[in-house]
Amino acid sequence: MRKILLFLFLSIPSLLLAEVTPANYNFSLDSLKVFKPGTPRAAFEKTYGKGEVWKKSNKTIILKYYVAQIRYKFPVFVQLFENKVVDYYARLPTYFLHDIFHQSIINRIGKQDKYFRIENNALYKWENKKGIDYVYSGTCTITCFPIYFSEALNKPPSGMNNYKKLVDQFNSASSLQDSLKRGSNQ
């Protein structure tokens, strides 16, 4: 009996001090690099397939892909013009930790140019970094986690009329209504 108690007494503290690694420690922005603005469609179709057509008009198409992270797949929407990426919008897993993800963006791009906060939601913008605009959004409840990350060309390619960035499309009320209609038909 003493041996059992001694074993429990010595083993429980070591279990309490075990290191817990957040799920996004092994996530890299490099996994989204294939969707970087300017990339030809063929470059990411090798890895992710044809994608689901979300919206199509003239030479512009929006496709939906899924990127795997551990046991979770998160959607990435890619807007193409003449089969080249103009911008993408990644809806990030909520189990990611905001602090780690935000710091990884800062390490890669630099400190954000603009920061907006409304209650527990924050929006970070990096403008015209080598011709690309970046937008990241995070929120806090009990913990803080990312909502989305987007990269877009600062200026649309010539010939692309009525260009609207995906982040703006998804954050407008009319797009929300369209998405709700689309969701009810599926």
At 64-87, the pLDDT tens digits run: 999 887 777 899 999 999 999 999
The token pair that represents 89 in the structure block:
């919008």
Q: How confident is residue 28, by pLDDT bands cut at 50, 70 and 90?
A: confident
Cut 0.75: pTM above it: yes
Q: Which amino acid belongs to residue 151?
A: E
Q: Which conformational region is residue 152 in: left (phi greater than 0), alpha (psi within -120 to 50 degrees), or beta?
A: beta
Residue 178 vs residues 44, 64, 169, 170: alpha-carbon distances, Å: 27, 15, 10, 10
What pLDDT is attached to residue 143?
A: 87
